[in-house]
Amino acid sequence: MGKFGEVRGVFVAGCMAAVVLAAFGVHAEEGGGEHPAWDYGDVHGPEHWADIDPAFATCRTGMRQSPIDISGPAARDGAAPSLALDYRAGAATVVNLGHTLQVNVAAGNRLTLGGVDYQLLQFHVHTPSEHSIDGRHSPMEAHLVHRNADGGLAVVGVLIDAGAAGVIDELPLPDAVGGTAELDAALDPSHLLPAARGFHAFEGSLTTPPCSEGVQWIVMRAPATASEETIARITAVLGPTNRPVHPLNGREVLTGE
Ligand SMILES: [Zn+2]
């Protein structure tokens, strides 16, 4: 089976472990064996992910898939679980995974959602944004991926528009796939967030194979910003890396402050 088969074996034994591996992009690095690697192109892109590997079947059959369009009538005020973010400056490493730029952060960044604690593992970006608000996409979206003690995932999505320079502008950018770069200065993930802390909350999935469900999604209502030059530079390196939006299928989008 090779290394890719081992990853699928983990999926059978404990799906949340595989979710975390997937969140780290392990599948992409292992995908060169018996299966073609998934990507965002016409042949191995989002419409075909389920055909690449049976372990990706949820990408087609799942009924609670991400991303989604967040539109006014579907968003219900209040009732969202309480959200608290306790982030701090620490060491960080940028990795070019081909399908994303991922920033692995030091331990000690906590999210508390509905009384459950999660630790921030990494954040990464998509160009353009995966979620849309009232049908409008931003040129970039950051995903902050957190895991709780039971292996459950919570992802905070931040839409990023062109504007004032932000944390994204400080990231070194390895041009080669597999390339890594250490940040010279400590990075505070809270600087990724918009000043206004209102958010949307809903259930969804990983937006990349294996598209596993049971992910708690938080999408900040206000966008953050990065310079137009940085957005253009990252877009040029990654190319389009957004999965199309999926139907809500009865899910509720809650709002909170
Ligand atoms: Zn993502």
Task: Report whether CATH 3.40.50.1220 matches the domain 64-256.
Answer: no
Task: For residue 156, report the distance from its CA to the centre of ligand 1, in Å.
Answer: 9
Q: Is the pLDDT of residue 33 over 70?
A: no
pTM of the model: 0.86
23-27, 142-146, 168-172, 251-255: which has the minimum mean pLDDT?
Answer: 23-27
| Eight-class DSSP state of 135 | T
Task: For residue 143, report the distance from its CA to the centre of ligand 1, in Å.
Answer: 5
pLDDT higher for 34 or 178? 178
Task: For residue 185, report the distance from its CA to the centre of ligand 1, in Å.
Answer: 24
The pLDDT value given to residue 16: 37
- Which ranges of the chain does DSSP label H, i.e. alpha helix? 2-13, 15-23, 26-30, 49-52, 58-61, 228-238
Task: For residue 124, report the distance from its CA to the centre of ligand 1, in Å.
Answer: 6
Mean pLDDT of the chain: 87
Of the listed 27, 35, 99, 200, which one is catalytic? Answer: 99
Residue 246 annotated in active site: no
Mean of pLDDT values over 241-247: 97
Task: For residue 205, report the distance from its CA to the centre of ligand 1, in Å.
Answer: 10
Cβ pair 249, 69 in contact under 8 A: no
Task: For residue 90, report the distance from its CA to the centre of ligand 1, in Å.
Answer: 21
Q: Is the pLDDT of residue 99 over 80?
A: yes
Whole-angstrom distance, CA of residue 103 vs CA of residue 97: 10
- The domain ranges of the chain are 64-256
- Extract the tokens encoding 45: 């892109």
